[in-house]
Amino acid sequence: MNIENNAPQRGEKQPTACRDSFWAILFYIHLIAIAVTTIKYAPIMASDEEFNEFTDLNMSTIYTILAISGAAGLGISTIAMSLMMIIPTAMIKVALLFNLLVTLGMVVCSILVQAWPMVFMASIGFLFTLYYTYVIWKRIPFAASTLVTAITAIKCNMGLSFFAYNNLVLTFLWSMWWSLAFVATAYVVSDCNIGEDAYCENELNGGVLFLFLVSFFWVCQVIKNIVHCTVAGTVGTWWFIPNDAKSCCSSAVINSYYSSITTSFGSICFGSLIVAIIQATREIVNSMRTQENSLLLCLIDCVLGLLEYLAKQFNKWAYIYVGLYGYGFVEASVNVLSLFQARGWTSIIADMLVDTVLLMVSICVGVITGIIGAIVGTVMQQGGAVIGVAFLVGMIIGFVLCSTLFSLISSAVNTVIVCFAEAPAEFHSNHPQLSQQMLLAWRDAYPTEFGY
């Protein structure tokens, strides 16, 4: 089959140099500030006798629930990821059907408790989900072919899985460190008393709270995007030079990771900060809601939610060019979006079924982990409120763990799409069978937009 590279623009490998260095320096300065804050306030809080008595009475149960939920979530997430790599097409179908069953279950439960407004809303949700499943079902081969290609690249470089798990560990450790720094700062600066009548003499300054929130989200985004760029560089090497990316710890994996934490680190910090600021602003807006201003703040939250979504989508594609070629953040953003516009693929990248499926599976894992957390709370003979919190905490832990692991697959899928847009001939030459499958599936799903 003859495939021509007719894209007007191709990425070029950039000379080795640190880009967007200012943002990397700012990132390190902010970590130093968090460390100083922890060293200054944590010992003061730890020396408070009332605080120690409170934590001794309540933390053992919380730690047990967190530990068991975390272990269960990690195990279930690993199984889900393994199934996604073994039977991707079946997993896509299962995820879509599971989403249907969940929405139908909400309708049934609402009827049983006679919550008629909820019955109406749940029914609309079920009908919408049913329509979406019907429309998208014919595009399963398109999603599956892209997913199979991405998973094949990951299997050839299984060392990437180390970075996915490392991502989990670093995110957990950062959350613990940040929580200690934030709680200690709030406790000491606000002059809090945690006895029977818990109160704080002063309110924590809003600016300090905002900066702490930016710090938390910024580091989480940086950790995530380092893995994203590492996967992009590795899959790109597998695409163009497969001999350099066909072992567990191939040179492609090592070199891509090294670039992500050195020359491209500033670019990662830059884009991550944009998303972190939006996320922190949303949290502040949500905390300000009251009955009097809920409508206005709800509208602001919707606008911020849209901005957050757009920023994440923007970053997702930009970081692929950062990982592939070593561009700075702004230049990478412009180049990759220009590539999609030139190909006429804006509708294709806006309708990525794989990301939807990965989200659905992550939600499923979260629900299962939440049930396990609730069971643990019941076994420990806790009250209904604690069991409810255990379910919520378990669900959040399971969802975060699974979505973090699945980010490995998502990054590989997005890299495949970018490489397919700019270099289909190299793909056909290096991986002819996979190329044939993707060509047929994409032509069937997008006969107008897909011009190969």
220-248: per-residue pLDDT in tens? 999 999 999 999 999 999 999 999 988 88
Q: Mean pLDDT throughout 252-281? A: 94
On whether residue 316 sits in a domain, the answer given is yes
User: Does residue 61 have a pLDDT over 50?
Assistant: yes
List the single range of 39-43, 186-190, 258-262 with lowest mean pLDDT. 186-190
pLDDT value, residue 35: 95
- Which DSSP symbol is given to 270? H
User: Does residue 5 have a pLDDT over 60?
Assistant: no
Number of residues that make up the chain? 452
User: Does residue 311 have a pLDDT over 50?
Assistant: yes
pLDDT value, residue 239: 95
* Rounded Cα gap, residues 30 and 33, in angstroms: 5
Residue 331 banded pLDDT, cuts 50, 70, 90: very high
On whether residue 114 sits in a domain, the answer given is no
**HSE-up of 356 (CA within 13 Å, CB side)?**
22
Mean pLDDT rounded to a whole number for the chain: 84
On whether residue 274 sits in a domain, the answer given is yes
pLDDT value, residue 59: 56
User: Does residue 97 have a pLDDT over 70?
Assistant: yes
CA distance readout (Å), 119 to 112, 133, 168, 451 = 10, 21, 38, 45
pLDDT value, residue 396: 82
On whether residue 101 sits in a domain, the answer given is no
What percent of the chain stands above pLDDT 90?
30
List the single range of 129-143, 280-294, 394-408 with lowest mean pLDDT. 280-294
Please tell me which residue, 229 or 95, carries the higher pLDDT value.
229
Residue 2 banded pLDDT, cuts 50, 70, 90: low
* Rounded Cα gap, residues 249 and 385, in angstroms: 47
pLDDT value, residue 172: 81
290: left (phi over 0), alpha (psi -120 to 50) or beta: beta
List the single range of 66-70, 278-282, 316-320, 336-340 with lowest mean pLDDT. 66-70
Token look-up 């044939």 returns: 436
Residue 154 banded pLDDT, cuts 50, 70, 90: very high
Residue 272 banded pLDDT, cuts 50, 70, 90: very high
Residue 57 banded pLDDT, cuts 50, 70, 90: very low
On whether residue 374 sits in a domain, the answer given is yes
- Which DSSP symbol is given to 193? E
Residue 385 banded pLDDT, cuts 50, 70, 90: low
pLDDT value, residue 132: 85
Q: Mean pLDDT throughout 93-104? A: 86
pLDDT value, residue 73: 84
Nearest to 225 by CA among 299, 332, 377: 332
Q: Mean pLDDT throughout 44-54? A: 64
* Rounded Cα gap, residues 387 and 391, in angstroms: 6
List the single range of 120-129, 133-142, 320-329 with lowest mean pLDDT. 133-142
Burial level of 188, CB count in 10 A (0-12/13-18/19+)?
A: middle
pLDDT value, residue 290: 62
**At how many degrees (to 10) do helices 353-379 and 88-112 cross?**
60
On whether residue 396 sits in a domain, the answer given is yes
The torsion of the CA quartet 380, 381, 387, 389, rounded to 10 degrees, works out to -60
User: Does residue 190 have a pLDDT over 70?
Assistant: yes
On whether residue 429 sits in a domain, the answer given is yes
User: Does residue 211 have a pLDDT over 90?
Assistant: yes
List the single range of 94-98, 173-177, 446-450 with lowest mean pLDDT. 446-450
Q: Mean pLDDT throughout 266-271? A: 95
pLDDT value, residue 265: 96
Domain range enclosing 389: 21-86+138-445
Q: What's the structural domain count of the chain?
A: 1
On whether residue 256 sits in a domain, the answer given is yes
pLDDT value, residue 37: 93
pLDDT value, residue 293: 65
